[in-house]
């Protein structure tokens, strides 16, 4: 009886070790660094790579790592029904044109979904909410701002009774925009909707993985969680 074939490693055609590739992707996506910043920091560690190699690696491996992180998180959290979601949209400029990045965040600051559209009307809100509900299940309550597109979309989905609107009630998702804004400035903005969608989804999953709530725990607990997150990251796609 023939032996089952072992799945091919995604690193098989690369001379660099998987540990170095994971480190490069983590540094570039997690921290507000440019491609050349990552190249310089790695040079101090004795790792000589070009900034274009950093670009190639995060484009090639970033989505694979993010999918692995998201798959583990969704499988753990899908049955949890005490969720409170916060929805909001933020504008992003692409070559002088305004587009909108829709984001769903839960009550603990975990980014659930990111979706880019050219408009923020009912159709865009409906598509975004459907995508989030399909992947993560139905929450207990959904907090939004006063944008009428949310109300129209929620009514069509039959979730109007779950929608909550209040002053300062949506600060959770408003504050979650800040890490992405810092990252956007370091990258000197985006050029295409495709690249924005790709990076927004990737950044969200990496941010979730290293979201250790350091302001809520003592230092020893934070260090333990940080070590666990780094160890788990090193085992992605192993």
Domain ranges of the chain: 84-196
**pTM listed for this prediction:** 0.85
Cβ-proximal residues to 104 (8 Å cutoff; 6+ apart), any chain: 85, 86, 87, 111, 112, 113, 128, 132, 136, 173
- Structural contact between residues 97 and 153, judged by C-beta atoms closer than 8 angstroms: no
pLDDT tens digits, residue range 12-24? 888 889 999 999 9
What's the pLDDT score for residue 77?
64
Question: Which residues sit opposite 98 in a β-bridge?
Answer: 93
Q: Kindly state the DSSP code that residue 4 receives in the 8-state scheme.
A: P
Q: Kindly state the DSSP code that residue 83 receives in the 8-state scheme.
A: -
Record the tokens describing residue 214, joined without a space: 């350091």
More confident position, 10 or 77? 10
* Of the listed ranges 14-23, 29-38, 206-215, the one predicted with least confidence: 206-215
Q: Is 65 exposed, middle or buried (0-12, 13-18, 19+ CB in 10 A)?
A: buried
Taking residues 143-148, report their average pLDDT.
Answer: 92
pLDDT band at 5 (very low <50, low <70, confident <90, very high): low
**DSSP symbols for 182-220:** HHHHHTT-BS-HHHHHHHHHHHHHHHHHT---TTTS-HH
Domain 84-196, CATH homologous superfamily name and number? Ribonuclease H-like superfamily/Ribonuclease H (3.30.420.10)
pLDDT tens digits, residue range 50-104? 999 999 999 999 999 999 888 877 766 655 656 789 999 999 998 888 999 999 9
What's the pLDDT score for residue 200?
93
Taking residues 125-146, report their average pLDDT.
Answer: 91
Q: Which of 125, 191, 178 is nearest to 152 (CA)?
A: 125
């Amino acid at each position: 009886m023939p032996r089952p074939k072992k799945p091919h490693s995604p690193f098989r055609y690369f001379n660099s070790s998987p540990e170095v590739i994971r480190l490069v992707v983590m540094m570039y996506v997690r921290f507000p660094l440019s491609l050349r910043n990552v190249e310089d920091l790695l040079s101090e560690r004795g790792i000589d790579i070009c900034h274009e190699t950093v670009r190639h690696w995060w484009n090639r491996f970033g989505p694979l790592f993010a999918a692995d992180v998201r798959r583990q998180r969704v499988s753990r959290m899908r049955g949890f029904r005490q969720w409170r979601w916060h929805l909001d949209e933020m504008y992003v400029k692409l070559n002088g044109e305004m587009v909108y990045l829709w984001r769903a965040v839960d009550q603990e600051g975990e980014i659930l979904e990111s979706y880019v559209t050219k408009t923020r009307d009912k159709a865009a809100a409906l598509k975004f909410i459907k995508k989030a509900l399909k992947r993560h299940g139905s929450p207990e309550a959904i907090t939004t701002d006063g944008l009428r597109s949310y109300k129209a979309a929620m009514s069509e989905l039959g979730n109007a009774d779950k929608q909550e609107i209040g002053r300062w009630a949506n600060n959770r998702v408003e504050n979650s925009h800040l890490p992405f804004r810092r990252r956007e400035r370091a990258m000197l903005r985006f050029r295409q909707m495709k690249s924005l969608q790709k990076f927004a989804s990737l950044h969200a999953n990496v941010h979730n993985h290293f979201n250790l709530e350091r302001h809520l725990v003592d230092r020893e607990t934070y260090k333990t969680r940080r070590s666990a997150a780094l160890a788990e990251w090193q085992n992605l796609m192993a």
